[in-house]
Amino acid sequence: MSTSTVLRARLSPHLRRLEAESIGILREVAAEFHNPVMLYSIGKDSGVMLHLALKAFYPSKPPFPLLHIDTGWKFRDMIRHRDQIVKHYGVRLLVHTNPEGLARGINPLSSGSRLHTQVMKTEALKQALDKWGFDAAFGGARRDEEKSRAKERIFSFRGTGHVWDPRNQRPELWSLYNTKISQGETIRVFPLSNWTELDIWQYTRAEDIPVVPLYFAAPRPVLERDGQLIMRDDERMPLQPGEIERIRMVRFRSLGCYPLSAAIDSTAATLDDIIAEMLVMRTSERSGRLIDTDEAASMEKKKRDGYF
């Protein structure tokens, strides 16, 4: 059997189409920008994006580093996974934490999720982009995640100060991306724009991409707060009066800072299980992301400020 037949059999035509589109986008950035970077958030989307980058430039290595914005509140499993991946693929990883935020003691518990996100994610990201002078940054955001993301271009222009002006996006016709920017302007690029959550999992399974174990159901100590299941990953998160930790079979659909990422009850312990579970799931993926709901049109507002 020729190699091409093997390849066709493993990926459905739908995933092959998505893969090829993403690879085209990744190459476009490498060809057009002086100093691109890939935002690596350790989650399943980042995993797919990194995997696609390794394929896109083969036999060369991806001609850009990874950047992780570390808020200091990621699950320990995530950091472990990150370091393994970097070693496994031999890619260059940059890590940045907002030093002022750290000094001011900003945290998701007492500062509130909004301030924490603003300072430790959005500001930190902007600092890092400026510090290394990146002119293009890949993000793993998908249009199906959220209604303002459904409005995003694949090449999303950001003015000076990294701001997004949703009313003044560049028309993006065919795949003739406008990659031209002036000094001080940058582009965010979303190679996974047209993927859905289900596509991500099916591709992860087909390509055997490593993911953080937290995505799989396991007995974990969780507490219930504001109707959400929170896993206390370390001692920095004190229990409130009346709260108790119970061991439950849970998993995470979306991973961020641990006090802000809610788990779901689930028994899905394999990729097959996760995919089967998705077919009957009736809530949205980001419903467990506490930062999305702290204001109306919250995502859009954060994006205008420079969030991904």
Partner 1 sequence: MTSGAHPQVTVATGGAGGPEKELLRFLTCGSVDDGKSTLIGRLLYDTRLIPEDQLDALARDSRKHGTTGEELDLALLVDGLQAEREQGITIDVAYRFFSTPRRAFIVADTPGHEQYTRNMATGASNSQAAVILIDARKGVLTQTRRHSYICSLLGIKHVVLAVNKIDLVDYSGERFHHIVGDYLGFARALEFSSITPIALSARYGDNVIHRSERMRWYEGPTLIEHLEALDVTEGLDEKPFRFPVQWVNRPNLDFRGFSGTVVSGVVRAGDRVVVAESGRESTVARIVTADGDLTEARPGDAVTLTLTDEVDVARGDVLAHAHDRPEVVDQFAAQVLWMIEEPMLPGRSYLMRIGSRFVPARITSLKHKTDVNTLEHMAAKTLALNEIGFCNLGTASPVAFDPYGENRGTGAFVLIDRFTHQTAAAGMISFGLRRATNIHRQALLIDKSARTRLHGHRPAILWFTGLSGSGKSTIANILERELHALGAHTYMLDGDNVRHGLNRDLGFTDADRVENIRRVGEVARLFVDAGAIVLCSFISPFRAERRMVRELVEDGEFIEIFVDTPLEECKRRDPKGLYARALAGKIKHFTGIDSPYEVPEGAEIVLETGLAPEQAARRVLDALRERRVIG
Residues 189-218 that bind partner 1 (CB under 8 A): 193-194, 196, 198-199, 202-203, 205-206
* Residue among 150 and 269 whose Cβ is closer to partner 1: 150
Helices 197-207 and 13-32, interaxial angle, to 10°?
90
CB nearer partner 1, residue 94 or residue 181: 181
Question: Which residues on adjacent β-strands are paired with residue 189?
Answer: 138, 155
Helices (H) and strands (E) in the chain, counts: 10, 10
**Phi, psi of 184, rounded to the nearest 5 degrees:** 90, -15
Among 80, 92, 147, 246, binds partner 1 (CB under 8 A): 147
Site for partner 1 in 8-67 (CB under 8 A): 9-17, 19-21, 23-24, 27-28, 30-31, 54-61
In the list 123, 135, 146, 233, the residue contacting partner 1 (rule: CB under 8 A) is: 146
Q: Using CB under 8 A, pick the residue from 119, 178, 192, 229 that binds partner 1.
A: 178
Please list, residue by residue across 261-271, b when 16 or more beta carbons sit within 10 angstroms of its beta carbon and e when fewer do: bbbbebebeeb
Residue 183 binding partner 1, by CB under 8 A: no
Q: Could you check whether the bond before residue 59 is cis, i.e. omega within 30 degrees of 0?
A: yes
Interacting residues with partner 1 between 154 and 173 (CB under 8 A): 166-167, 169-173
d(CA 68, CA 42): 8
CA distance to 52, 173, 189, 238, 240, per residue, from 155 (Å): 17, 11, 5, 42, 44
Report, in Å, the least distance between residue 176 CB and partner 1: 5
With binding defined as CB under 8 A, does residue 3 bind partner 1? yes
Size of the site for partner 1 (CB under 8 A): 75
CB closer to partner 1, 17 vs 80: 17
